[in-house]
Amino acid sequence: MVTPDDGRIRVLRIIARLNIGGPAIHATLLHERLDPARFASTLITGTEEAGEGNYLALHGRSARIEVMPDLGREIRPLRDVATLRRLAARMRELRPHVVHTHTAKAGAVGRAAALLAGVPVIVHTFHGHVLRGYFSPAKTAVYRAIERGLARRTDRLLTVTPRVRDELLALGVGQPSQYTPVPLGFDLAPLLGAEAKRGELRAELRLGEAPLVGIVARLVPIKAHEVFLAAAVRVRATHPDVRFLIVGDGELRSALEQRVATLGLGDAVRFLGWRADLDRLYADLDVVVLTSRNEGSPVALIEAMAAGVPVVSTDVGGVADVVRHGDTGWLAPMDDDAAIAAHVVTVLGDRAAARAMGQRGRAAVAATYDAGRLVRDIETLYGDLLRARSATRTL
């Protein structure tokens, strides 16, 4: 099959899977919204693991995508080599001007395929990284070596926050001149108007006027929900009427449900699974907490701040690029459940100050994380990189 040359920039976007979270939002938004008069976009993805949830299915959206099932998260060497070959063959058919990869595995397999296929411009977005806190030291060392090697052959490395860039540079991945921080972009309008939905979730869950503290995150080790539950015990010591909502799903759900029972929190904690009605969710939360041990750009915090909800988070990864401690939210050291609890109690203890903090957070994210701004940034980036490539060839 020959791809017609209609004068548009052909972009092939590759992501390991469209599980619920920031990378899926980012990749599908760009795929759907690049100016169709200037860009011809193709999105290739793998499949999700059990319990991860599919972003498109949850939100009732459809995107024109191609699926290569073995592109998913798990490392399977023989299948990964076959996927690399399939990707390279597909690139020779599509003849993309730009290959843009998202997430670690897609970044490795996709960039290797792009090199084999002779793609003019290769871009990779780090939505965070797995080079600290995810794997054993030996496996982490291997992944760092792979990322360092791939970075040398990548035209532009994007990060969702400056701090993620700085962490990667400290790990020896790429050169400063290769990096461009590009904040995430979202359809913020429903969240900016979330106050209109206040009371709906409380009525659904029959929670009355009890203070609500929530965490919105995949139920996986890196999110450290056990720290959230330990903080919940401390908060309940002074505020016994508080209820805690755990939004999300994943491999640790059964273990976390057992932990809730062991801690005596059974009457105070509700597991809600994944929710598509985020405006209703955030409208009724008094505090949103994140206890991650590593984080790229914290989607749940951005969403909560857009809805005017005070946030409390561990100070990891790119969180401090989103949350200004004491101004638009509160930050605590990693794994410090006492500090998390103290900040939650502070928010619950002064509602006027909490509302003011929420309003400052809303103003901060509304000015930075708009979807239109993200699309414009990426369109400009692709054009600049292709012009630079063309100029290099004519020298």
- Place 1 in a pLDDT band, splitting at 50, 70 and 90: very low
Residue in 345, 93, 85 with CA at minimum distance from that of residue 238: 345
pLDDT tens string 12-71: 999 998 877 778 889 999 999 999 999 999 999 988 776 666 767 666 665 678 989 888
**pLDDT tens digit sequence for 97-146:** 999 999 888 999 999 999 999 999 999 999 877 666 666 778 778 888 99
- Give the domain ranges of the chain: 9-185+370-394, 189-366
The pTM of the full predicted model, rounded to 2 decimals, is 0.85
- Are the beta carbons of 353 and 360 closer than 8 angstroms? no
Over the Cα atoms of the chain, what is R_g?
A: 22
Q: What is the arithmetic mean of pLDDT over 216-229?
A: 96
Question: How many distinct helices (H) and strands (E) make up the chain?
Answer: 15, 13
Q: Identify the DSSP state of 69.
A: G
Per-residue burial over 173-192, b = 16 or more CB atoms within 10 Å of its CB, e = otherwise: bbeeebbbbbbbbbebebbe
Tell me, yes or no, if the two domains 9-185+370-394 and 189-366 fold the same way. Answer: yes
Percent share of the chain, pLDDT over 90: 74
Distances (CA, A) of 198 to 175, 176, 280, 296, 300: 47, 45, 7, 30, 18
| C-alpha span between 184 and 181 (Å, rounded) | 10
Residue 226 contacts residue 252 (beta carbons within 8 Å): no
CA torsion through residues 77, 82, 85, 90, sign:
negative
**Under CATH, which number does the domain 9-185+370-394 receive?**
3.40.50.2000
Nearest residue to 274 (alpha-carbon basis) of 249, 250, 299, 292: 249
- The CATH number of domain 189-366 is 3.40.50.300: no
Which residue type does 87 have? Answer: L
